[in-house]
Amino acid sequence: MEKAWLDGLAAVVAEAGRLVEDIARQGFDTQFKNPDERRDPVTTADLACDAFLKERLLALLPEAGWLSEETKDRPDRLTKRWVWIVDPIDGTREFVRRIPEYAVSVALARDGEPVAGAVVNPATGDRFLGAVGVGAWRNGKPITCSRDRGERLIILGSRSEMNRGEFEPFADVLDVRAVGSIAYKLALVAAGEADGTFSLGPKHEWDIAAGVALVLAAGGQVHDGAGLPFRFNRPNTLTHGILAATREAHADLALLLERHAPRRA
Ligand code: IPD
Ligand code: CA
Ligand code: CA
């Protein structure tokens, strides 16, 4: 993949991040996807960012299909070789609470494989970009998904999964830190800020595709709950389980998960 083309992707996603922050400053409306549960908020910022990304990304690669959390799904994406996989705001709960841990997340898949990913944290301006087999960058500087291991491995965990006690089995062996947005957690792992991140629960393709591309592009390892590489642009976009880690920590974390939470597949 050519660097000029990647720069185009980075510019669009950075602009989307600025759009989200402008809306955050001006004010936004919040609704719940299921009003009875009040668990999954969606705001006018999610929808505006979705519309912006759709226009700009499809202009960048007109032959690509489109899969986004905030666009009604269309089966024609399944016939496309290239597909944009987009979460306009990952971590909307954090966005609504003004916790600066949410992200614009954009991936490009080819024949189901993650090819490129861009993740921007609009609140901090932190920008991550990667192309598998080419390289990965944070704010324009090369990154590697690698770090020296400390006494205990540092894991980035979901705030809600921690509140539900899902990380308790690992409390004695891992140093688990709460961070919102799985896309942002994966980006931080790609940059070597932690040894890994994992989730045992379901995620949609748009939550993880960009982060998976970043981790792979930065030389880390990532697999699903069955220990398999991710394939994207599937008819059912729900995935089950994810472990992403540095090359130094991945094998030990996979073993630990196997012991505490055996694979279902
Ligand atoms: C959520 C975030 C969060 C993950 C949830 C997702 P949303 O996405 O990715 O990190 O743990 O499973 O639903 O709803 O903020 O786009
Ligand atoms: Ca999401
Ligand atoms: Ca979202």
Q: What is the mean pLDDT of residues 156-163?
A: 92
- Integer Cα distance of 169 and 228 in angstroms: 23
Which residue's alpha carbon is nearest to atom 15 within ligand 1? 91
Q: Yes or no: say if 239 and 224 are a contact pair by the CB < 8 Å rule.
A: yes
Q: Which tokens hold the place of 228?
A: 């398999």
Is the shortest distance between the CB of 203 and ligand 1 below 6 Å?
A: yes
Amino acid identity of 232? Answer: F
Cα within 13 Å of Cα(99), Cβ side: 14
Residue 257 burial by CB count (10 A; 0-12/13-18/19+): exposed, middle or buried?
Answer: buried
Q: What is the mean pLDDT of residues 253-260?
A: 91
- Integer Cα distance of 114 and 211 in angstroms: 10
Q: Which tokens hold the place of 112?
A: 């189901």
Q: Which residues contact 236 (CB under 8 A, 6 or more apart)?
A: none
Please report the domains of the chain, with CATH numbers, ordered by start residue: 3-142 (3.30.540.10), 153-260 (3.40.190.80)
Q: Could you tell me whether strands 65-68 and 41-43 are parallel, antiparallel, or unpaired per DSSP bridges?
A: unpaired
Q: How would you write 53-69 as a 3-class SS string?
A: HHHHHHHHCCCCEEEEC
Q: Which pLDDT band, with edges at 50, 70 and 90, does 265 fall under?
A: very low
Q: Which tokens hold the place of 43?
A: 């705001």
pLDDT above 60 (res 264): no
Residue in 67, 90, 167, 197 to alter for ligand 1 test, most ligand atoms within 8 A of Cβ = 90
Q: Which residues surround ligand 2, an ion (CB under 5 A)?
A: 87, 90, 207
Write out pLDDT tens, residues 3-31. 778 999 999 999 999 999 999 999 999 99
From the CA of 100, how far away is ligand 3's center (Å)? 15
Cβ-count burial 54-65 (b if 16+ within 10 Å, e if not) = bebbeeeeeebb
Residue in 181, 185, 238 to alter for ligand 1 test, most ligand atoms within 8 A of Cβ = 181
Is the shortest distance between the CB of 207 and ligand 1 below 6 Å?
A: yes
- Integer Cα distance of 239 and 232 in angstroms: 9
Which residue's alpha carbon is nearest to atom 3 within ligand 1? 181
From the CA of 168, how far away is ligand 3's center (Å)? 27
Q: Yes or no: say if 105 and 86 are a contact pair by the CB < 8 Å rule.
A: yes
pLDDT at 262: 57
From the CA of 50, how far away is ligand 3's center (Å)? 9
- Integer Cα distance of 127 and 103 in angstroms: 10
What pTM, to 2 d.p., does this model score?
Answer: 0.96
- Ligand 1 atom at minimum distance from 161 CA: 11
DSSP 8-state code for residue 220:
-
Q: Which pLDDT band, with edges at 50, 70 and 90, does 180 fall under?
A: very high
Write out pLDDT tens, residues 49-107. 999 999 999 999 999 999 999 999 999 999 999 999 999 999 999 999 999 999 999 99
Nearest ligand for residue 199 CA = 1
Amino acid identity of 72? Answer: K
Residue in 37, 46, 207 to alter for ligand 1 test, most ligand atoms within 8 A of Cβ = 207
Give residue 193's Cα distance to chain centre.
15
- Integer Cα distance of 88 and 249 in angstroms: 30
From residue 6, alpha-carbon distances to 60, 137, 208, 230, 265 in Å are 10, 11, 19, 22, 36
